Amino acid sequence: MIKTLLKKQFSEIFKAYFFDAKKNKSRSKTSTVLYFLLFIFVMVGVMGAMFGALSFSLSPIIALGFGWLYFAVMVLLSILFGVFGSVFSTYSGLYLAKDNDLLLSMPIPVRAIMVSRLLGVYLMGLMYSSVAIIPAIVVYFIFSKASVMSIVGALLLPVTVSLFVLALSCIFGYFVAKISLKLKNKSFVTVLISLAFFALYYFVYFKASAFLGEFIKNVMIYGENIKERAYVVYIIGRSGEGAVVPLVAVNLVVSVLLFVTLYVISKSFIKIATSTAAVKRVKYYRKREKMHSSLSAVMLKELKRFTSSPNYMLNCGLGIVFMIAAGVFVLIKGGAIRETILPQFSGYEGLTVAAACAVVCMLVSMNDIAAPSVSLEGKTLWQIRSLPVGTNTILKSKYLLQICINIIPALFCAFAALVVLRPDILTAILFVALCTAYVVFHALYSLYCGLHKVNLDWTNEVVPIKQGLSVVFAIFGGWGVAIAIGALFLIAGAVMPVGVYLFIILSIILLLSAFIYRWINTSGVRVFEEL
Amino acid sequence: MLKIEHLTKTFGDKKAVDDLSLEIGAGEIYGFIGHNGAGKTTTLKSVCGIQSFDSGSVTLDGLSVISDPIAFKKQIAYIPDNPDLYDFMSGIKYLNFIADIFKVDENTRAERIEKYAGIFSLTDDLAQPISAYSHGMKQKLAIISAWLHNPRLIIMDEPFVGLDPKASHSLKQMMREICENGGAIFFSTHVLEVAEKLCDKVAIIKDGRLIKKGTMDEVKGDESLEEVFLELEAEK
């Protein structure tokens, strides 16, 4: 039974590598091999190298006799990374699987369903945690002599860590499932939590190097403190070194924790997996509804689509947060920027204006709401096509929404830059005009990409929002244009003042926008009507 | 009222609809029956302007679905076989969206929502997100939205699937009301008993070609519609 379920589970996990959902056919062998190679490159090459470098930077503490501290730090990091990689798959894989009802209706023990589901979670955790812990073990043996027990400890460590990650993921997944059954405004809460995570991530990232330096410098003090106040961490570190008692103790504790967790989850699995009505029942009371024009109605529909999906907001609207954050940062640090950075560009003031313009345009390019909007019509396309709304109006609602959402943060960011840069009035006007024109251009361009790469046959909205080519072209194409705006001034700046340069770029952007606008209203309309 | 002339639609090499001609008059309930894959849905989608077709014409009181699609669509409503509605909206938001598109004024929309949601016992659920609706509730919501702007012609693909007996009965009455007020209904169904009792006229399609059409008496004679259908299906 478990074998059959595992086969099904594996075919789901690796489906994307063997099957092209967009073309609805199997991938060629070359394509499958290339996908696997890309995956290995990202996981082993990029992630592994990152943790390898981190392990090397921590290696001095091994030579100081603090091998246990080295392992403790790397084990904690690999747990963190492993849980990050598998916690969301526990929730969705265990409780939100679409075939839960089907499998539960069959004569299959709940335990077998859970084991097959959790194997996927375990593999994710194993993969993420191994990418961190295996380079750490390799680096350890470069700087330390190998003994039988240290090899045993090193071999057991990835297994112990991955099992602990599985237990933690199950616990987190269990609580996420419990909370989400009660949560209101799920999309906004998810977005807020994700933004908090991003903020924390960037904070840790920027502080990490300073912390590592401090940690290595005072390793003796930190080591003694940890040994005294957090003995568990010491034990974990010692088990990595292969000390017998800590090794047995740590593995025993992890096994018991995992066993208890699986027992609790198996007891509540059916109840949580089959609970559907997450939202509190809201009774309807008749109230007067305001009338809207066709365009407003379709735009409100697009807005509702955007705000109802955390995936859509996070992947196609993150630039809004960055623009506001950049504006606030520039306003707060304006004095320091004027005193320390701008004097470095004395005589090249035009370059700072062009560069600031490029940065604003790059941030605008992160918001490509219109790009997946055509594909997102998906199975509901019949709806808008059967209504008496002109195709021009439907397409207009898509790019107008992107313009409306982008324009205020973009202008705020642009004005903040102007407050610090203080160019002459004409340059300032052109700067604002260019940023505004770019917002319009990028909305039109995003829709252009969306109409060129339509995929209506998706079962998960992440496909058009995150993985579609329209999104890739919209963001990277936008970045290309934004970088060109900044980079071209390096050449043009020698022969013309920045005001003239901005005017020329503004004219080009307006011309391109007019061209795409015309395309959308002619060929774009035809493309949409033939879907 | 609705005139379909020589409608042809191909998918690759396959002719899904082949030279189909039909005329539906005011006050008629017109049933459209055929086996799975016969071309019913393709015909209905082509008629209401969702799908382009290769040749032929579709007009409603002289308005062409090709040359004047907006004016054409203002006169009709379409309910598909599987009501994939905007899951991210609540029921009431969805109905107001449809009312906005058809420019139904505030008072009229409020009256009609109250009336039809009452008929289908959906009033209390209108504030719920559509994603929380059952298949039957979505079907009811799609029906209410179709009736909101008092269309001249309603095109429905398997409208009784998923409806409970009470809702089915209400829908039949509503269909009759539309026809009594000078409108028309064109719908596909596999439930031949319903078609026999409800339809004024019926058309049978097989492999994309219309094989029989006319009033119910003309088509079935002294036999039951089921017998006629099975005989026609058995013929090569």
User: What does the pLDDT look like over A72-89, one tens digit per residue?
Assistant: 888 888 887 777 666 666
**What is the arithmetic mean of pLDDT over A249-277?**
80
CA atoms within 13 A on the CB side of A324: 9
CB contact (8 A) between residue A388 and residue B48: no
Domain residue extents for chain A: 2-273, 294-529
State the pLDDT at residue A216. Answer: 67
Which of B76, B81, B161, B175 minimizes the C-alpha distance to B119?
B175
**Is a pLDDT exceeding 60 seen at residue A22?**
no
Residue A499 contacts residue A491 (beta carbons within 8 Å): no
Q: What is the CB neighbour count within 10 angstroms for residue A78?
A: 27
Q: Nearest-CA residue of chain B relative to A530?
A: B52
**What is the arithmetic mean of pLDDT over B149-178?**
91
Q: What is the pLDDT of residues A187-243, one digit of tens each?
A: 666 677 667 766 776 676 666 666 666 766 676 777 777 777 777 778 888 887 888
Distance (Å) of CA A178 to CA A82, A102, A183, A278: 22, 22, 9, 10
State the pLDDT at residue A360. Answer: 94
Proportion of chain A above pLDDT 70, given as a percent = 85
**Is a pLDDT exceeding 70 seen at residue A369?**
yes
Residues 6+ apart with CB under 8 A from A16: A35
Supply B54's token pair. Answer: 């290769």
Q: What is the pLDDT of residues A25-75, one digit of tens each?
A: 677 778 778 877 777 776 677 667 777 777 777 777 787 777 888 888 888
Residue B144 contacts residue B109 (beta carbons within 8 Å): no
Q: Does this complex have an ipTM over 0.90? A: no
A96 part of contact set with chain B, CB < 8 Å: no
φ, ψ of residue B79 to 5 degrees: the values are -125, 120
CB contact (8 A) between residue A288 and residue B52: no
Supply B49's token pair. Answer: 């302007």
State the pLDDT at residue A158. Answer: 87
State the pLDDT at residue A504. Answer: 94
**What is the arithmetic mean of pLDDT over B65-88?**
89
**Is a pLDDT exceeding 70 seen at residue A381?**
yes
Instruction: Give the Cα separation of B158 and B59 in Å (integer).
Output: 23
* Mode of pairing for the β-strands spanning B14-24 and B63-64: unpaired
Q: What is the CB neighbour count within 10 angstroms for residue B45?
A: 22
What is the DSSP secondary structure assignment for residue B161, as one 8-state letter? Answer: T
Supply A412's token pair. Answer: 């705020």
Q: Where are the beta strands (DSSP E) in B96-222?
A: 153-157, 184-188, 201-206, 209-215
B194 part of contact set with chain A, CB < 8 Å: no
Residues 6+ apart with CB under 8 A from A24: A457
Angle, to 10 degrees, between the axis of helix A67-90 and the axis of helix A110-143? Answer: 150
State the pLDDT at residue A289. Answer: 76
Sign of the C-alpha dihedral computed for residues B129, B131, B133 and B137 taken in this order: positive
Chain centre distance of CA A503: 36
* Shortest alpha-carbon distance between residue B116 and chain A (Å): 13
**What is the arithmetic mean of pLDDT over B197-217?**
88
**Predicted confidence band of residue A437 (pLDDT cuts 50, 70, 90):** very high
State the pLDDT at residue A117. Answer: 78
Q: What is the CB neighbour count within 10 angstroms for residue B26?
A: 14
A383 part of contact set with chain B, CB < 8 Å: yes
Residue A333 contacts residue A340 (beta carbons within 8 Å): no
CA atoms within 13 A on the CB side of A409: 23
Distance (Å) of CA A44 to CA A35, A41, A140, A385: 14, 5, 18, 47
Instruction: Give the Cα separation of A394 and A404 in Å (integer).
Output: 16
Residue A401 contacts residue A303 (beta carbons within 8 Å): yes
**Is a pLDDT exceeding 90 seen at residue A441?**
yes
Q: What is the CB neighbour count within 10 angstroms for residue B180?
A: 9
Residue B19 contacts residue B6 (beta carbons within 8 Å): yes
As a dihedral over the C-alpha atoms of residue B74, residue B76, residue B77, residue B82, rounded to 10 degrees, the angle is -120
A452 part of contact set with chain B, CB < 8 Å: no
**What is the arithmetic mean of pLDDT over B71-80?**
91
**Is a pLDDT exceeding 60 seen at residue B176?**
yes
State the pLDDT at residue A109. Answer: 77
**What is the arithmetic mean of pLDDT over A102-123?**
78
As a dihedral over the C-alpha atoms of residue A59, residue A60, residue A66, residue A70, rounded to 10 degrees, the angle is -30
**What is the arithmetic mean of pLDDT over B106-118?**
91
Instruction: Give the Cα separation of A183 and A181 in Å (integer).
Output: 6
Angle, to 10 degrees, between the axis of helix A231-241 and the axis of helix A67-90? Answer: 100
State the pLDDT at residue A456. Answer: 80
Sign of the C-alpha dihedral computed for residues A421, A424, A425 and A426 taken in this order: negative
State the pLDDT at residue A205. Answer: 61
**Predicted confidence band of residue A466 (pLDDT cuts 50, 70, 90):** confident
**Is a pLDDT exceeding 50 seen at residue A277?**
no
Residues 6+ apart with CB under 8 A from A34: none
Residue A380 contacts residue B145 (beta carbons within 8 Å): no
- The chain-wide mean pLDDT, for chain B, equals 89
**Is a pLDDT exceeding 70 seen at residue A313?**
yes
* Shortest alpha-carbon distance between residue B195 and chain A (Å): 25
User: Long-range contacts for A36-43 (Cβ within 8 Å, ≥24 apart)?
Assistant: A43/A127, A43/A131
A376 part of contact set with chain B, CB < 8 Å: no
Interface of A with B in 291-310 (CB under 8 A): 291-294, 296-298, 300-301, 304-305, 308-309
CA atoms within 13 A on the CB side of A466: 12
State the pLDDT at residue A406. Answer: 94
Highest mean pLDDT among A185-199, A327-341, B87-101: B87-101
Helix (H, G, I), strand (E, B) or coil at B167: helix
State the pLDDT at residue A185. Answer: 60
Q: What is the CB neighbour count within 10 angstroms for residue B209?
A: 15
Alpha helices in A98-218 (DSSP H): 100-105, 110-143, 148-180, 186-217
**What is the arithmetic mean of pLDDT over A101-110?**
76
Supply B142's token pair. Answer: 């799609």
Instruction: Give the Cα separation of B48 and B59 in Å (integer).
Output: 10
Interface of B with A in 157-186 (CB under 8 A): none
Proportion of chain B above pLDDT 70, given as a percent = 100
Interface test with B, best of A383, A461, A527 (most B CBs within 10 A): A383
**Is a pLDDT exceeding 90 seen at residue B184?**
yes
Neighbour-count burial of A493, counting CB atoms closer than 10 A to its CB (0-12 exposed, 13-18 middle, 19+ buried): middle
Total residue length of chain A: 531
Interface test with B, best of A287, A385, A392, A456 (most B CBs within 10 A): A385
Q: What is the pLDDT of residues A142-179, one digit of tens each?
A: 888 778 888 888 888 888 888 888 888 888 777 777 77
